[in-house]
Amino acid sequence: MYPAMMSELLAAERRKTMHSQADAFRRAKSAGEMRHPHRDPRAHGFLSTAFAGIRRLGVHIRPVVPGDADLIDEGFARLSDESRRLRFLGPKTRLTEAELHYFTDLDHHDHEALIAVSRLSGRGLGVARFVRLADDPTTADLAVVVADEWQRSGLGSALIVRLVDRARCEGIARFSALLLSENEGARRLIRRTGTSVRLVGRDAGTLSYEMELGPWVEPSHRRRLAITAPADCVGAT
């Protein structure tokens, strides 16, 4: 068997283990549509396990750069129709050149995005981004997408936790997120991040959430959870 094929098979087995751990956590976790967690120790334990598992699976998380347009386009092409619909709140068959430019040509201040890349295959596995609101510079819209085969593995949580640190560095105090009401996976995901999450609106099959991030602090106490070195906090408030 080719070494690359063996590596992919081993990674697939490890992902199955991660999925089982995530399922067990979900069953044990009491659900609530509106909650205000204060660094729930259960969430912290889950995130620690997720970060460790993702490191073992050879995932690198870094900022998106303009050269990632093809990587993001290829990742979008691998998504199922259902994953695309949940991410874009409706049917979506392709990304336009203008959209790819918007998704990759970032200022890393008002618009930031982190991408997870497989060290084995070089493929993009997920992206998390925030875009600061023009009329409220302390709030940013949040969006996350994870490849179908990596969903419920902890990768989405790892991406958001890293993005929360970047947002705090840039003076953002809260995320807003608009989800389809049927997107239970995304609702579970944002409740696992250790932020204070509340439901603020319902409209036409969608739910609006706010996530209070709290002030930025020196991240040295979280270095054991980092997948890559924390980004510089240039301009942090």
Domains of the chain: 49-225 (3.40.630.30)
- The Cα–Cα gap between 216 and 183 comes to 30
Q: Please check the confidence at residue 205 and state whether its pLDDT lies above 90.
A: yes
pLDDT digits (tens, 9 = 90+) for 122-155: 999 999 999 999 999 999 999 999 999 999 888 9
**At a CB cut-off of 8 Å and minimum separation 6, what does 56 contact?**
14
pLDDT digits (tens, 9 = 90+) for 43-58: 444 444 455 555 556 8
User: Distance of CA 61 to CAs 23, 82, 98, Å?
Assistant: 24, 25, 24
Structure tokens at 109: 């201040």
Using an 8 Å Cβ cutoff, are 198 and 213 in contact? Answer: no
- The Cα–Cα gap between 159 and 192 comes to 12
Q: Please check the confidence at residue 8 and state whether its pLDDT lies above 90.
A: no
**pTM for the full predicted model:** 0.72
Residues 177-204 as b/e (b if ≥16 CB within 10 A, e otherwise) read bebbeebeebbbbbbbbbbbbeeeeeee
- The Cα–Cα gap between 87 and 89 comes to 6
CA angle 217, 212, 127 (to 5 degrees): 85
Q: pLDDT category, 217, cuts 50, 70, 90?
A: low
Using an 8 Å Cβ cutoff, are 19 and 153 in contact? Answer: yes
Q: Please check the confidence at residue 229 and state whether its pLDDT lies above 80.
A: no
pLDDT at 192: 80
The single-letter DSSP state of residue 232 is P
Residues 102-118 as b/e (b if ≥16 CB within 10 A, e otherwise) read ebbebeeeebbbbbbbb
What average pLDDT does the chain have? Answer: 78
